[in-house]
Amino acid sequence: MLVEEITSEEFEKAKSEIKTVIIPVGSIEAHGPHLPLATDLYTIYEVCKVLSQKIKILVAPPVYYGLCRSTYPLAGTISIKGELLKALIFNIISEFYRQNFRNFFILSGHAGGTHSAYLIDAAEAFLELHPEAKFFVANIYQLLIPFLKEIGIPERDSHAGEWEVSLIKYFKPHLVKGEGFEDYPDFPKFRVVADKKKYWPSGIWGNPLKASEKKGKILVERLVQFLIKEIKRMEEE
Ligand SMILES: [Zn+2]
């Protein structure tokens, strides 16, 4: 069930029938010349929608914004601060907890390391107060890695490349503008630099030319199967 579409009465009923709440988190970020700024939101939210048709869960209204470091200087990236992201996620969890939910999946379509760390930190902070709550926190790229191998997508393909374009071609083909091009960033290792655009002007990390709707469909099917298993595992614990 999508929380944004149900009534208060349906929500009340869901409390006795449903154990797990999924909070989808996206980002508004440059994704090359070919993908929309909300790519990360669309991929994970659409996966959650498919999931909610197959298993009884609540999908919270998504968080559109995330923390974006590497694409920060690129046009269209609207990043929020990590402390704000952590506080927002913490607040949303607290509210679903107040409504009697205990099992939480925080699933991010944005795979940035710093962003992901703040999501984990929100869960850690909540567990300090409510150790009986249960959390699964992951980003889509981490979750897809085993399935990328299966269909021959190299692991270094990570942003606006083969798998991400495949997902948008599958879910929202009308939003893919042209094909993009193969590119990779050249950040100097361990350096934290202000002029990120110098090392990564394109926002592409991988090869979008090899993307296809079919690959997107396979990845979604695999990911949904995997998440159903993880949700059941947590609920049966
Ligand atoms: Zn992305």
- Whole-number Å distance, alpha carbon 159 to ligand 1 midpoint, is 5
Strands (E), 38-183: 58-59, 103-108, 134-139
Separation of alpha carbons 117 and 15, rounded Å: 30
At 7-26, the pLDDT tens digits run: 999 999 999 999 999 999 99
Q: What is the pLDDT of residue 11?
A: 98
Indicate the average pLDDT of the chain.
97
- pLDDT category, 75, cuts 50, 70, 90? very high
Radius of gyration in angstroms for the set of CA atoms belonging to the chain, rounded to a whole number: 18
At 187-228, the pLDDT tens digits run: 999 999 999 999 999 999 999 999 999 999 999 999 999 999
Mean pLDDT of 99-111: 98
- Whole-number Å distance, alpha carbon 148 to ligand 1 midpoint, is 15
- Whole-number Å distance, alpha carbon 237 to ligand 1 midpoint, is 32
- Whole-number Å distance, alpha carbon 54 to ligand 1 midpoint, is 25
Q: What is the pLDDT of residue 197?
A: 93
Stated pTM of the model = 0.96
Q: What is the pLDDT of residue 218?
A: 98
Residue spans per domain, the chain: 3-236
Buried b / exposed e across 74-98, counting CB within 10 Å, b at 16+?
A: beebebbebeebbebbbebbeebbe
- Whole-number Å distance, alpha carbon 8 to ligand 1 midpoint, is 33
Under CATH, what is the fold of the domain 3-236? Rossmann fold (3.40.50)
